[in-house]
Structures are given as C-alpha cells and as structure tokens.
C-alpha cells in the first residue's frame, strides 16, 4: 500500500470515519455512493464482486470509479465554466474557501468561449 493511502487510513480511523479497502483501493461514503480516495490519475476499477463488498460495507447504492487519465495527453487541462459570474462577496463562505484554494493550487486564466469551442 502506498504512503498516501496509509495516511488516509490513519486519518479516517483517527476521525472515526467510515471507509472500505477493496483490491488495494480506498473508498469512502459520498451521498449514498462509494467514492475512491486518491489522485485522479490512478485506476480505481474494481471487480463486480469487490464493488458489492464495498457497497455492503459502506451501505451505498453504487460505486464511483475511474480508469485514470490514460487517454489524456501529457499537460492536459480542464476548465470550470460558470453560468453566472459572481463577485467574491456574493459567494458563500464555503465557496470562497474553494476559490482561494483553487487560486493557490492552480493556474487560473480567463478564456473566451470561442477558445473553449475551438480547443475543447
């Protein structure tokens, strides 16, 4: 098991949070679904039997997973698009915190809709 996974298990155990480990992957409850924990680039596929065990352990209706980013080119990017521009004071405290964290951790650039349509 990788070091980041051990840290997540320690944290969830210390905070008395539910989790399930199946086929070397960690899952936690998320809105009545089981959600994998870890970097998005990892492959979180599990067998049908493994998914049943995770659902049973976490009392979930389904399991979210990804096959990683194997089809994305190096340097790939994604965009978050807002339907309605908001000023910072209009946002809830929670959303302001997410925006601040995103500005610290990501490169943020304003792009025109034509660029998104052209580049994908």
Per-residue pLDDT of the chain (120 residues; tens, 9 = 90+): 677 788 888 888 888 888 898 888 889 898 888 888 877 677 788 888 998 899 999 998 888 876 655 555 555 555 555 667 778 888 889 888 888 887 787 776 777 777 766 765
Confidence (pLDDT) at 115: 73
**Residue ranges of E strands in the chain:** 20-22, 25-30, 33-36, 62-63
In a domain, 29, yes or no: yes
In a domain, 101, yes or no: yes
Q: Could you tell me if 41 and 92 lie in one domain?
A: no
Report which of 9, 16, 15, 36 is spatially closest to residue 25, judged by C-alpha positions: 36
Distance, in Å, from the CA atom of 99 to the CA atom of 108, rounded to the nearest integer, reads: 10
Beta bridge partners, 33, equal 30, 62
Confidence (pLDDT) at 76: 55
- Assigned token pair, 105: 């951790």
Beta bridge partners, 22, equal 25
Total number of domains in the chain: 2
């Amino acid at each position: 098991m990788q070091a980041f996974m051990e840290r997540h298990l320690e944290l969830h155990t210390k905070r008395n949070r539910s989790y399930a480990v199946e086929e070397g992957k960690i899952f936690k409850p998320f809105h009545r679904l089981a959600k994998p924990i870890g970097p998005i680039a990892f492959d979180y596929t599990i067998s049908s039997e493994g998914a049943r065990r995770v659902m049973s352990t976490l009392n979930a209706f389904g399991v979210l997973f990804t096959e990683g980013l194997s089809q994305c080119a190096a340097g790939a990017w994604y965009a978050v698009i807002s339907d309605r521009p908001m000023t910072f004071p209009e946002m809830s405290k929670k959303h302001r915190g997410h925006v601040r964290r995103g500005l610290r951790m990501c490169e943020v650039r304003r792009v025109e809709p034509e660029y998104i349509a052209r580049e994908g």
